Amino acid sequence: MAAPVPKLVLQGLPNPRQREFFETTARHTCYGGARGGGKSWAMRRKMVLLMLNYDGLRGLILRRTLPELKENIINPLRIELNGFADYNETEKVFRFPNGSRLKFGYCDSEGDVYQYQGQEYEVIALEEATHFTEAQMRFLTTCNRTTRTDFSPRMFYTCNPGGVGHDWVKRLFIDREYRKGEKPENYAFIPARVYDNHALMIADPEYVENLEALPEDMRRAHLDGDWDVIEGQYFKEWRRERHVCEPFTIPAYWRRFRAMDWGYNDPCCVLWFAVSPDKRIYVYDEYYRTQRNVNEVAASIKQQTGAQKIAYTVGSPDMWQRRGMQNVTRKGIVGESIAESLGISGVPVEPADNSRIVGWQRVREFLADAPDGKPWLQVFPNCTNLIKYMPQLQYDEHNREDAADGNDHAPEALRYGLMSRPSPVLAAKENKRKVVDLSDPFTELPRRRASGFLSL
């Protein structure tokens, strides 16, 4: 008679986020965010439950380095599965009574993933996935396969923001920008918050206090699980959850204008702005394309604008100098400047104020809160490039007051647009005085007189 299989008793109940993680069946699920949220706990538990639920399943858990793999995953599981699943130290594998196998590995150097070449695992979990490079992740995806019909392959990723893998994790799970062959429905993200982990809050309240005391950047990454934080970030005040608003129908009487950063090989970015009666600015539409000539850009701007009344459009001053290939019309290359051609095509443009330092300062003023506690600047979610590139803008190494070049086209267009408006600090004063007469400089005066007013 076979020896009876011992009963497995698992301690602890999942919190709601962990439950969500247990329930996901997406091909790729990332449970990411704050430290201490219970990600590793949930991942260990989910792997064990899968091994128990499906006979003969093959699972693989990976981390970059061995000591953490042992401490964080193998040792807790050896305690939990003691007497239930056999652990083989040399092979680093647990064998379950139903034939399932859970293997562990680490990938110290980039090429270590190739040891799994030709192997098949129905489930692969990457602990601290942001420590893995995109190439490693891609390779491991090729090992995530099966010939079984009762289980579709899955990959799990637990991680905090930051690290070599920050960009690919953010692209796939936060920005949800997909390349050829990647299906959006295959990627699920579950945010982790330390406050969700009641077990930890009760057992170790100091843990959260320590996270709360971290310097700003690290606190945002490790306590808030904020994926927009990066080193050298120019706009640290940017917060997706505060600056991106729910879209709404903008009343017809609100003043609207556009701002444009011309580019041909670099992206050409156009933003549409609207000013609310309390002087809050809403960026509500965006155009962002490369290698479009002037006629195509003009046609797209007109099409996107439709019947809306636009008070004015400001454009990067280089549009008055650039000619040549970027300005090809049916007549061939023309000698007109980009600005002239745009005007002829029905999009008249005025040169934007290109003072960089003052301009970025103006952007900062708009990112700050108005007296009602909501930022002066609000962005509609459809302006995806502005939302993506605002937090990515970096300090210029040579001039700490300025922002560095590179992927700055949407922030530049924003700067041009906001420089055509008075500082919100003045708007706040005006709002306080409740000036609603015709001398209101913010809505009634033409742009140049409005900025002239500022320099008084």
Binding piece for Mg ion, criterion CB under 5 A, among 40-48, 212-220, 256-264, 270-278: 40-48
Say how many CA atoms lie within 13 Å of 169 toward its Cβ.
Answer: 33
Residue 17: burial class (beta carbons within 10 Å; 0-12, 13-18, 19+): buried
Provide the minimum distance between the beta carbon of 93 and ligand ADP in the complex, in angstroms, as a whole number: 22
Q: Kindly state whether residue 431 participates in binding Mg ion, applying the rule CB under 5 A.
A: no
Nearest to 193 by CA among 181, 183, 204, 201: 201
| Helical segments of 329-439, H only | 338-344, 356-367, 384-389, 409-419, 424-433
Q: Kindly state whether residue 160 participates in binding Mg ion, applying the rule CB under 5 A.
A: no
Residue 33 CA to residue 60 CA, distance in Å, equals 22
Q: Nearer to ligand ADP by C-beta: 12 or 232?
A: 12
Provide the minimum distance between the beta carbon of 193 and ligand ADP in the complex, in angstroms, as a whole number: 10
15 interacts with, out of Mg ion, ligand ADP, none, CB within 5 to 8 A per kind: ligand ADP
Provide the minimum distance between the beta carbon of 321 and ligand ADP in the complex, in angstroms, as a whole number: 53
Provide the minimum distance between the beta carbon of 342 and Mg ion in the complex, in angstroms, as a whole number: 53
233 interacts with, out of Mg ion, ligand ADP, none, CB within 5 to 8 A per kind: none
Provide the minimum distance between the beta carbon of 336 and ligand ADP in the complex, in angstroms, as a whole number: 59
Q: What is the dihedral of CA 45, 89, 72, 166, to 10 degrees?
A: -90
Handedness of CA 284, 290, 292, 293 (dihedral sign): positive
415 interacts with, out of Mg ion, ligand ADP, none, CB within 5 to 8 A per kind: none
Q: Kindly state whether residue 40 participates in binding Mg ion, applying the rule CB under 5 A.
A: yes
Residue 275 CA to residue 12 CA, distance in Å, equals 52
Q: Nearer to ligand ADP by C-beta: 38 or 267?
A: 38
Q: Residue 87 carries which DSSP code?
A: E
Residue 194 CA to residue 205 CA, distance in Å, equals 11
Provide the minimum distance between the beta carbon of 92 and ligand ADP in the complex, in angstroms, as a whole number: 20
Nearest to 150 by CA among 23, 56, 29: 56
Binding piece for Mg ion, criterion CB under 5 A, among 38-46, 63-71, 148-156, 329-337: 38-46
| Helical segments of 170-325, H only | 198-203, 205-212, 216-222, 240-243, 294-305
For residues 37 and 208, the answer to whether their CB atoms sit within 8 Å is no
Q: Nearer to ligand ADP by C-beta: 110 or 204?
A: 204
Binding site for ligand ADP (CB under 6 A): 12-15, 18, 35-41, 192, 197, 199-200
200 interacts with, out of Mg ion, ligand ADP, none, CB within 5 to 8 A per kind: ligand ADP
Provide the minimum distance between the beta carbon of 278 and ligand ADP in the complex, in angstroms, as a whole number: 41
- Enumerate binding residues for Mg ion (CB under 5 A): 39-40
